[in-house]
Structure 1
């Protein structure tokens, strides 16, 4: 690996921001968290509708691109580098993490006890929306936010032939050469800062769940030491994967993680409350499509229930903070695919993968609460969400085995998310990488260790709640950056479209001609092989 691939300027600024984030919270967690909450309230009050309209607009933009003439543009030559299954597995495990294992089984309980639209808690209507809202928050809208950066980034690299997967590169259509200057640096640093907040949120959710599982299985006391041990173990695990790189490490990990995830879901579907799962999921799909626009733009300005701020805006901020990272990662592994397949793969594949969790895991947990088999709401209120999750899993046939496998998948999900984030951060903080070249191995491992070290510091200082809040705050500038990327992409493709299509058609024509030309050549070769034999026979005769 060449030594000049490290972008020392971006690296130093990123490290300075990390120190600026962690040190004050570690010194005074209460005041630091209170300050961030004040900033969060200001953002949600003044910019909350912007998040909602931006998400809905992005979803509409993707549908327009996918099913319009631009959808058939191919991102780079040749065949896709990964099979469709591995490609979807990499995108899904990188973008979702252990959050789906956490919220997929318990999110309904919050909506059931504190429903939106002024519904009565624990009512039939509340139950209907409870099983639907998780599918909404983790469905088409979420994956639209994830998907939209991948298109201009992939276009910039595979069509415009830029060598960097950075956000600033995807904005060149608007900002031009300023992408190489201070404007580009600000864009890339905003992305890195937002990703740190998003990863912190994932660690904040995943670590307590794993700690609760270890406490349940082995009786280990739930302490800070246990949480730190979990994070360090994960750090060692994914550092090994990072060392082996994208194809050998992350690909295999993502494939097997998705296999396990689907196996657990199939087992619960067969041996759990199958009829209730199917009926509840069917109703949820109907409720979602009937109320999609209402749910997308719900602000409750009169009732001021705070539902949108606590849930929808939090999720949209979380997705926005993750989106540039997932976009870069998806762009890197999507060479050879069309824009339409890239959009449909993420919107449909990602959504169905998340719906699987809420349909099977969530509805099973709700069934246990409604029938009285497990007091999920009581456990949630008195012992917390991780305990309620494990109680639901224990109630299943072979509950102990299911619980162990569930925790294993959650741990791998968390590891693959941090893996992919470290890989992307090392990519952004590199320079002069050649086509197909990966960042230095030690550099990938360095970013993995740095991300987990941040979580350890904040965990020690009781600052993870602040970092969760920060993920929404850091998403605000990313909303404008993503809109800038969309404008850049549209400007590019309008100019390039006719040329690109002509080149694609010529490539197909040349390929077909080369195949046709091979046939007569082989026939001639056969005739020439036979000719001397016939001539020799005549001579002898």
Structure 2
């Protein structure tokens, strides 16, 4: 309502609030993202990795392919389409401070790919992994409701986690989810509108963007009524198939040899400079670039953490902690690396050889970049149509998944919330996205994301403490598999606690020997 009734006031307040948040707490976003990555790697390699997210004998609910497809589509689908070309090209034209690269040079191209991978691979998926693991463990291992507050029982106790403190945590998660999702849907509307303008000469305007949001929200409603085992699962699989087809097309008809060189070189630069990039807080260089890129991304991923974490938890029943973390960290990160190497690498090569002036096109708006690159390849009409269809499908699956999570958070953690609540949240997310676009476009979307994510950083850090505390108390992390026990120990069990006792009872009495 603030955005509808007083756009100028909202824009001014958001701008001042953002400046304060970045100057005061920019370091907190950077440190928190590093904590999540280190914790995810530690848990995957530790003895906690063998704990199953469910009963000890339970099998995964979804196949690995469906699991990966839904996880990937929910995590960052629209963002991959929006920034696939735009981010590398923008870094090429204006290299990150401290990179030492000159604009428009080979060094700038290397820095562009390096920072793009930094923003889209291990760090964001570590944020999702920690949130998803805590929620999956609380829901399927401990049998609590599927809401963020359920994971805080080890810190708050069951009564407080189910009372006012728990509701406050869930409310913060709801705000973060609504604005994080609205940001992605706004980006999707911008890109679809630009695609229609370039391919069908439809006038690009704010009205068109709002119409697109309304139309895709209506499509989401149809998907929402079909449930997670149909709508989300089928659309997510279709997204992956179409994205792979578009990527293979660009790889084959584009600068194939150059892309093959970009992939290993970018990965090498990324790992070589990971420590430096991960610890930059703006203390020695200006914070403007960090605010526009790294801190915005970390805030975006944090605002998506309750949504993506809850959704990944919902589809991960029956998997072990190690399987969950390795899958969530490496599979989407690897796929994103290949995606940016093909799409971003092809765009950089076109710019370097003079085949296209993508810097100028991107300067008109980041939503132009992908279509401008496809325009310089064969079959532009077909590839542009596929790109628009991909964005639209990602919009629907993103709204579908976010609304399912919001429905669960506002239905006492129900795994199957009432359809009307899910649909109501989808409509509200679309409305917020429309208002933010009208209030200032991409800049307004970024401001709202960072401001809403700030208080949720504290929640996420506390979530890490609660998760580790609970995993340490799990009997499955303390003892080795039963088949590995020597006969003498089995005899000691029977002698100590009786013939009918099992090894879990022995572990409980004797400190998990």
Could you tell me which residue of structure 2 aligns to residue 346 of structure 1? 328
Q: Secondary structure, in 3 states, of the residue corresponding to 2:473? A: helix
Given the alignment, which residue of 362, 371, 393 partners 2:374? 393
Could you tell me which residue of structure 2 aligns to residue 6 of structure 1? none
Could you tell me which residue of structure 1 aligns to residue 386 of structure 2? 405
Task: Map Cα deviations across residues 91-144 of structure 1 (whole Å, 9 max, x no partner).
Answer: 110011311101012211111111121532222221110122111100101110
Q: What is the Cα deviation at residue 461 of structure 1?
A: 4.4
Q: TM-score, normalised by structure 2?
A: 0.90
Task: Map Cα deviations across residues 444-479 of structure 1 (whole Å, 9 max, x no partner).
Answer: 112111211222334344466334212111112211
Q: TM-score, normalised by structure 1?
A: 0.85
Asked if 2 retains the 8 angstrom alpha-carbon contact of 1:171 and 1:179, the reply is: yes
Q: Counterparts in 2 of 1:132-151, with a 5 A limit?
A: 132-151=114-133
Asked if 1 retains the 8 angstrom alpha-carbon contact of 2:437 and 2:445, the reply is: no
Q: Counterparts in 2 of 1:270-419, with a 5 A limit?
A: 270-304=252-286, 306-381=288-363, 383-419=364-400
Q: Against the structure 1 CA distance between its residues 463 and 396, is the aligned structure 2 distance closer, same or farther, given a 3 Å change threshold?
A: closer
Matched, 1:98 2:43: no
Task: Map Cα deviations across residues 370-406 of structure 1 (whole Å, 9 max, x no partner).
Answer: 111111112222x322233212111112122111111
Q: What is the Cα deviation at residue 186 of structure 1?
A: 0.8
> What is the distance in 1 between the residues matched to 2:41 and 2:442?
36
Asked if 1 retains the 8 angstrom alpha-carbon contact of 2:223 and 2:400, the reply is: yes
Could you tell me which residue of structure 2 aligns to residue 45 of structure 1? 23
Could you tell me which residue of structure 2 aligns to residue 171 of structure 1? 152
Given the alignment, which residue of 451, 470, 473 partners 2:429? 451
- 5+ residue gaps, structure 2, are 484-513
Asked if 2 retains the 8 angstrom alpha-carbon contact of 1:97 and 1:416, the reply is: no
> What is the distance in 2 between the residues matched to 1:449 and 1:377?
36
Task: Map Cα deviations across residues 481-529 of structure 1 (whole Å, 9 max, x no partner).
Answer: 1121121121112122358857x759xxxxxxxxxxxxxxxxxxxxxxx
Given the alignment, which residue of 405, 424, 427 partners 1:424? 405
> What is the distance in 1 between the residues matched to 2:283 and 2:462?
29
Asked if 1 retains the 8 angstrom alpha-carbon contact of 2:82 and 2:188, the reply is: yes
> What is the distance in 1 between the residues matched to 2:224 and 2:202?
30
> What is the distance in 2 between the residues matched to 1:146 and 1:243?
26
Given the alignment, which residue of 200, 208, 213 partners 1:218? 200
Task: Map Cα deviations across residues 128-186 of structure 1 (whole Å, 9 max, x no partner).
Answer: 10122111100101110111111111111122121x11111101110112111111111
> What is the distance in 1 between the residues matched to 2:151 and 2:4?
36
Could you tell me which residue of structure 2 aligns to residue 130 of structure 1? 112
Task: State which structure, 1 or 2, has the greater radius of gyration over its C-alpha atoms.
Answer: 1
Could you tell me which residue of structure 2 aligns to residue 58 of structure 1? 36
> What is the distance in 2 between the residues matched to 1:498 and 1:218?
59
Asked if 2 retains the 8 angstrom alpha-carbon contact of 1:198 and 1:468, the reply is: no
Task: Map Cα deviations across residues 235-283 of structure 1 (whole Å, 9 max, x no partner).
Answer: 1111101000000110000011101111111121122111111111221
Asked if 2 retains the 8 angstrom alpha-carbon contact of 1:200 and 1:468, the reply is: no
Could you tell me which residue of structure 1 aligns to residue 94 of structure 2? 114
Could you tell me which residue of structure 2 aligns to residue 87 of structure 1? 67
Given the alignment, which residue of 155, 168, 192 partners 2:137? 155
Q: Against the structure 1 CA distance between its residues 464 and 121, is the aligned structure 2 distance closer, same or farther, given a 3 Å change threshold?
A: closer
Q: Counterparts in 2 of 1:63-74, with a 5 A limit?
A: 63-74=41-52
* Equivalent pairs, count: 479
Q: Secondary structure, in 3 states, of the residue corresponding to 1:148? A: helix
Task: Map Cα deviations across residues 198-249 of structure 1 (whole Å, 9 max, x no partner).
Answer: 1121122111110011112221111222112211110111110100000011
> What is the distance in 2 between the residues matched to 1:54 and 1:384?
31
Q: Against the structure 1 CA distance between its residues 56 and 432, is the aligned structure 2 distance closer, same or farther, given a 3 Å change threshold?
A: closer
> What is the distance in 1 between the residues matched to 2:34 and 2:18?
22
Q: Secondary structure, in 3 states, of the residue corresponding to 1:396? A: coil
Asked if 1 retains the 8 angstrom alpha-carbon contact of 2:60 and 2:317, the reply is: yes
Asked if 1 retains the 8 angstrom alpha-carbon contact of 2:232 and 2:397, the reply is: yes
> What is the distance in 1 between the residues matched to 2:234 and 2:358?
35
Q: Counterparts in 2 of 1:461-500, with a 5 A limit?
A: 461-462=439-440, 465-498=443-476
> What is the distance in 2 between the residues matched to 1:501 and 1:419?
41
> What is the distance in 2 between the residues matched to 1:408 and 1:213?
10
> What is the distance in 2 between the residues matched to 1:390 and 1:128?
23
Which stretch has the larger CA shift, 345-354 or 299-308?
Answer: 299-308
Could you tell me which residue of structure 1 aligns to residue 508 of structure 2? none
Matched, 1:440 2:421: no
